Amino acid sequence: MTWDLLGQLFAAQFSLWWIFWIGITAGIVIGFLPGFNAENTLIMLLPLTLAMPVEHAFAFMTSLYCATHLGGGIPAILVRIPGTPGAAATTLDGYPLTQQGRGQFALVLSFVASVFSGLIATLVTVAMLPLLSTMGLYLRSVEMVVVMLFGLTLIAVIAAKDVLKGLIAGLFGLMIGMIGTDHIYNTPRATFGFLELYDGVPLVPALIGLFAVGEALMMIERRMIVKDVSGRKTSYDYGQTLEALRYSVTRWWHIVWTGLVGLVIGIVPGAGASIASFVAYQQSRMWSKEPEKYGTGAPDGVIAAEGGNNGVCPGTLVPMMALGVPGGSTAAVMMIVLQYHGMTMGPTLFNENPGLAYGVFVGMLISYLFMILTIVPLARYMSRIVLIETTYLVPVIILVTVVAAFSERQYVFDMGVAIVFGLIGYIAHKTEYHVAAILIGVVLGPLFEKYLVRALRISEGDPRIFFSSGIANGLWVLLALSLLYPVWRAWRRKKREAR
């Protein structure tokens, strides 16, 4: 790609600014609402996007897609309801910050981390597209098992205070994640006779239950979300916004590498934002100098989760554009639009239609720039939601999110699932069984099983397959290092203190 072409693409994409605004606004609203995501919205709007010129359609779709990832973090931070599964890890430190009266700070951190990790990941994608497009081919089920283990080890990390309780919660989540038919023979397992559970426990209702309903039942005993409301009048000016912007600048490298984690995971077809955010969070905690602060309102925890969550966006488009294999369900919908307009996906796209191929990523860059300008000034007003008394918030959260649980699959059954998980979430909260550990099991369990069984099937049951490739072995070494490093550091600290 030449600089001339790049300049032309920027000029062309900027002329579509109004489409970007519409896409961003719609995306943030969609991301905010649990149960709705870019995929089902784009399917709904397919007749509209098919009727548009292809450049307009792509500007709209990419901006909406990226904005949903950002929007999902807003309710995760303010009321502990992840708007999208990818924002689940954001609740771990975002909500404690809100409870401390620092919701605006957390929101701006998440916006900056989302936008700049997305920007960096997009820039890297544009610069290294040919190389990245082949990466997906090397990360197969064997390597993905190790990537999943990076996320699953977070259970042990979360369980640091009471290891037994944490592990029980995590394994309980993994068992819940195994409900449904198996990946090879479609044998129903522990479905309680419900056909609705054959596809597994629906993730969005489970998320809504564990976090929204469970947390709302906890809120009943408090007058407000914020624990100390004494200084609330002074703490909702732009001060926290500026503080978060300054903090983000000092943590630029954290934003960059978590975004790149997201990008690499996003490239793998089938992997997604929920894996990326947990892996980025786990790595951030593992290498942090203050790992004990994670889960109690650590700003770096918010950055890591949102960095991983948003770095995925350009990554999911890479296999679609370069190989003709959609990296996720949203990319599949985008591919339908491109094919409708007569575009052939694959390596030839970059020679035959470089304007469109690279234009998609340039459009993504522009939508990120628009996004930060739109959303950061609003953080101050959004954070005021925590000043509403729980007598109003609790009924609205419970009833409206239960309605949202219906939306993904359109089963009334899923509203019941949200209530059941709400009870589990409440009990887990009250007895300190680590809701986040249950969630990690529920989110990553089915994916882990899918890759594990697929790999074992290829090897006809021989577990040595997990050590059969250079990349997998490299990942095993990294996993071992990331687990051993905190132990070594704690040992060294203890030794220094003993002196």
Residues that bind another protein (CB under 8 A): 30, 33, 35-36, 41, 44, 164-165, 167-169, 171-172, 174-176, 178-179, 182-185, 187-192, 213, 216-217, 220-221, 390-392, 394-396, 398-400, 402-404, 406-407, 410, 412, 415-416, 419, 422-424, 426-428, 430-431, 433, 448-449, 452-453, 456-457, 461
> In the bound complex, what is the minimum distance in angstroms from residue 191's beta carbon to another protein?
8
The CA distance from 368 to 23, in Å, is: 11
Which residue's CB is nearer to another protein, number 35 or number 94? 35
Token readout for 121 is 């990941």
Shortest distance in whole angstroms from residue 189 CB to another protein = 5
Using CA atoms of 391, 435, 288, 375 in order, give the dihedral in degrees to the nearest 10.
-40
Q: How far is the CB of 323 from another protein (least distance, A)?
A: 28
DSSP class of residue 209 equals: I
Question: Least distance to another protein from the beta carbon of 75, Å?
Answer: 14
Residue 367 and residue 470: Cα distance in Å, rounded?
Answer: 38
| Among the listed residues 170, 263, 220, 226, the one whose alpha carbon sits nearest the alpha carbon of residue 426 | 220
Task: Work out how close the CB of 433 gets to another protein at its nearest, in angstroms, rounded to a whole number.
Answer: 5
Buried b (16+ CB within 10 A) or exposed e, 454-476: bbbeeeeeeeebbeeeeebeebb
Q: Which of residues 158 and 216 has its CB atom nearest to another protein in the complex? A: 216
Cβ-based nearer residue to another protein, 132 or 402: 402
CB of 396 to another protein, least distance (A): 6
Q: Which is nearer to another protein, 51 or 184 (CB)?
A: 184
Q: What is the total residue count of the chain? A: 499
As separate numbers, helices (DSSP H) first and strands (DSSP E) second, the chain gives 24, 2
Number of Cβ atoms within 10 Å of the Cβ of 392: 9
Q: How far is the CB of 196 from another protein (least distance, A)?
A: 14
CB 81 within 8 A of CB 215: yes
Which parts of 136-223 are beta strand (E)? Answer: 180-181, 188-189
Neighbours of 296 (CB within 10 A): 13
What is the rounded distance in angstroms from the CA atom of residue 200 to the CA atom of residue 202? 6
